[in-house]
Chain A
Amino acid sequence: MPKSKSAYSIPTKKQKSDTYIFVVWVDNEAGVLARVVGLFSGRGYNIESLAVAEVDAVKNISRITIVTTGTPQVIDQIRLQLTKLVPVHKVAEFKREDKDVIFKEMALFKVVGKRNKIEKCLNACKKFNPVILDETKSSAVIQITALRREIDVMNKKLKPLGLISTSRTGAVAMTRGAKIFN
């Protein structure tokens, strides 16, 4: 008797997964985000973060930035499958470690507490261009832009200082220098 009690093969050895950032230019039309996201969920790829907005109102183009992990083979598949979608114009992908690409996330922190605690918070955020968007005697909303893991750290650090609510975006990306994605 064969060992596998199944009409399918047994999974074979796994390759190493890496984190990649995909940038996808799509027609800004109804359902386009569902198509892109559905492709990921339907084929078992994961999405770490997602950012999407229209970037060209005249040509009606939106730009989607997706952070995902996968083996080189899976990353290839994601690019090729995305390219096949009808409303997709262009797909670019790069490794998170890529030095030629900047990527940033934004976070809003709401801190409630005494003035000195809020000051401490602002101090702690210094490295990440903190901006105070709203301020009362006992609260503040602080905006920072940073890398994902930096925001993770700040999120933890500010908790004892009165952080009561965090809101953050997915990553967006841009190449360094005069080059653009192609």
Chain B
Amino acid sequence: MPKLLTGAEIVFKCLEDQKVEHIFGYPGGAVLPIYDELKNHPSIKHILVRHEQGAGHAAEGYARSSGKPGVVLVTSGPGATNVVTALTDAYMDSVPLVCISGQVPTHLIGTDAFQECDTTGITRPCTKHNWLVKDINDLSKVIHEAFRVATTGRPGPVLIDIPKDIQFAKTKYKKPNKEKKLNGKSHNKFSQDQIDELVNLLSKSKKPIIYSGGGVINSGPKASQALREFVELTGFPITSTLQGLGAYPGDDNQFLGMLGMHGTYEANNAMHDCDLLINIGARFDDRITGKIDEFSPNSKKVHIDIDPSSINKIIKVDLAIVGDVTSVISKINKTIAKRKNGHSKSNKSNIAKWWEQIEKWREKDSLNFVNSDESIKPQHAVQRLYELTKNKDTYITTEVGQHQMWAAQHYKFNKPNRWMTSGGLGTMGYGLPAAVGVQIAHPEKLVIDIAGEASVLMTMQEMSTAVQYNLPIKIFILNNQYMGMVRQWQELLHEKNYSESYSEALPDFMKMAEAYGCKGIKADNPDDLDDKIQEMIDYDGTVIFDCHVDPNENCFPMIPSGKPHNQMILGPNDQEENKIKGKGKALV
């Protein structure tokens, strides 16, 4: 007769069988049996965070940078509610997380017991699925199913709520089933006919653009490889969403930069004027589309996505291909190659005029800014950081706001999984704990959180985690003393009424670094910037870099709300020019 295991032992058996190496968590009353069992499983390392939200974001950083699901362990009640922000963030950005939460014993559920909350109720709208395990015999099946749900199809977070008595109860352990049938939810539903139709569109198009997104990253490194081949085969221009950065090399000539609200002039204009739009693993987010009625008005639209509910949700498309990006693009590449053998006519000549137009847009140099000798411009800081770290296979996380957009605009990624940012939910405080998770997954790599001083204060407590585990993460704070993006919107839309967007009493980040037991570096002079950045890179340990930047800098270009792609506000250089020509007003 097989040995009977406790619920807590089964949890670890499952994690071992799922090849989990790290879990991020915080103990508490309702998960103590699981924590008690931790010592017996040396292959699983627990990272103790300082707040459960930090555990969630760290697991997100871990997952996004490694392609493996992130695992979170929290207690009932406040432990579970604290992790809700991270679960929602993961849900919006399709990050695979498995969150295990403790719950009060089954006989106390519903009695308002100490540290009880309706965890499955609260997390139902922010997980792909969740389970409350009330019978020990279901436990192993549920945990394995949870990993399957989190990692298949469009990835996302799941939660397993385990009451304390179930953690003590005993039963036989069941190994995961090999490939269960997918409940009618298989993911590759495309046909060769659809691929042929797409290839026909490709060859007819005169003004094509590829718009790729986070789905390419989620599909794995092979998807990026296939995408690169596809772009090379077709000669088409490609732009990317915030989450898709890195899938295609940021310094390649065919790459037009990011699109959307703070995207480049060339990318947004190409989206607007194209006659063929190929969306690969993106979801027509409202930060991307601008005004829906005037979004890319004259194009045939193709949408490749693994999630059928993403198709036609916002933008009606002409051809939808539901499937995993790797499989779909590989199939397209094969089909193109086959056809080319038949008749070698390439459509690259078709699009020569289009490239001329794009080059004209490029001449606008829409990411330009007026640099200064006196104060550090935040864009300049990101550019210098990029130049000094680009040869190092660097992993970048960010918080949310202006610094995030400047990082996306000026830091160029050449590989997938190197860029971790909170896009959908826009969670300030994401970057620091995410950097912790990234560094755990890649102990030898350089991991930098490009941060804002307001965002980073939201999860600053995780510095303590970084120091405890000797994680040499670098927190590069673009300190402008404002909630910069809020200030920018107030300047542009609310008559410069800077309501509550200035942080009156910021901490001294140098002293803060000292208090946490790590290194603090401060820069406020453009002349010293390079040396200071180099000092940060060379330092073998955790660093808080307090980079004082011009507080009044705005993030340009931008599409004002309710405007289409071809009505962008450009940077200060261009605004000057247009004022003289009397065109400035038309642009805003």
Contact = CB atoms under 8 A, between A and B. Distances in A.
B290 A9 contact: yes
Interface stretch (B221-229, B328-336, B413-421, B560-568): B560-568
Contact of A38 (B125, B290, B313): B125
Interface stretch (B265-273, B442-450, B489-497): B489-497
A9 B492 contact: no
A77 interface: yes
Interface string A1-19: 1111111111011000000
Contacts of B132: 30-31
Given A77-B309, A86-B129, A2 B588 contact: yes
Contacts of B563: 2
Nearest to B562: A4
Nearest to B314: A73
A5 B185 CA distance: 42
Given A6-B493, A8-B286, A31-B132, 16 more contacts: A1-B588, A4-B493, A4-B560, A4-B561, A8-B561, A9-B292, A9-B561, A9-B562, A31-B124, A38-B125, A83-B184, A83-B185, A84-B308, A86-B183, A89-B183, A89-B184
Interface in A36-93: 38, 42, 73, 76-77, 80-81, 83-86, 89-90
Interface string B462-501: 0000000000000000000000000001001110000000
Interface of A: 1-10, 12-13, 30-31, 34-35, 38, 42, 73, 76-77, 80-81, 83-86, 89-90
B286 A9 contact: yes
Contacts of B313: 73, 77
B121 interface: yes
B289 to A, nearest CB: 8
Contact of A3 (B312, B316, B562): B562
Contact of B493 (A2, A80, A85): A2
Given A12-B292, A30-B132, A31-B120, A84 B185 contact: yes
Interface in B545-588: 560-563, 588
A33 B191 CA distance: 35
B291 interface: yes
B149 interface: yes
A2 B560 contact: yes
Nearest to B588: A2
B128 interface: yes
Contacts of B129: 85-86
Nearest to B560: A2
B174 to A, nearest CB: 19
A7 B401 CA distance: 13
Contacts of B286: 8-9
Contact of B184 (A4, A73, A80, A90): A90
B260 to A, nearest CB: 13
Interface of B: 120-121, 124-125, 128-129, 132, 134, 149, 183-185, 286, 290-293, 307-309, 311-313, 316, 489, 492-494, 560-563, 588
Residue of A2, A73, A76 with most partner-chain B CB within 10 A: A2
Contact of A80 (B120, B308, B489): B308
Nearest to A88: B183
Nearest to A80: B309
Contacts of A77: 309, 313
9 A-B pairs closest in CB distance:
A80-B309, A2-B560, A4-B562, A86-B129, A4-B561, A9-B562, A10-B562, A42-B125, A80-B308
Contacts of A34: 121, 124
A88 to B, nearest CB: 8
Contacts of B316: 73
Given A2-B493, A86-B183, A89-B184, A7 B124 contact: no
Residue of B120, B183, B588 with most partner-chain A CB within 10 A: B183
A170 to B, nearest CB: 22
27 contacts: A1-B493, A4-B560, A5-B494, A6-B561, A7-B489, A9-B291, A9-B561, A10-B561, A30-B132, A30-B134, A31-B121, A38-B124, A38-B125, A73-B312, A73-B313, A73-B316, A77-B309, A80-B311, A83-B184, A83-B308, A84-B185, A84-B309, A85-B129, A86-B128, A86-B129, A86-B149, A89-B183
Given A34-B121, A38-B124, A5 B493 contact: yes
A86 B128 CA distance: 8
A23 to B, nearest CB: 15
Contacts of B492: 1-2
Nearest to A27: B183
Nearest to A39: B125
A89 B183 CA distance: 7
Nearest to B494: A5
A12 B293 contact: yes
B291 to A, nearest CB: 6
A81 B134 CA distance: 27
B489 A35 contact: no
Contacts of A13: 293
Contacts of B307: 84
A91 B492 CA distance: 47
A91 B452 CA distance: 46
A35 B124 contact: yes
Nearest to B311: A80
A44 to B, nearest CB: 12
Contacts of A80: 308-309, 311
Contacts of A1: 492-493, 588
Contacts of A73: 312-313, 316
A80 B121 CA distance: 22
Contacts of B493: 1-2, 4-6
Nearest to A8: B561
A127 to B, nearest CB: 41
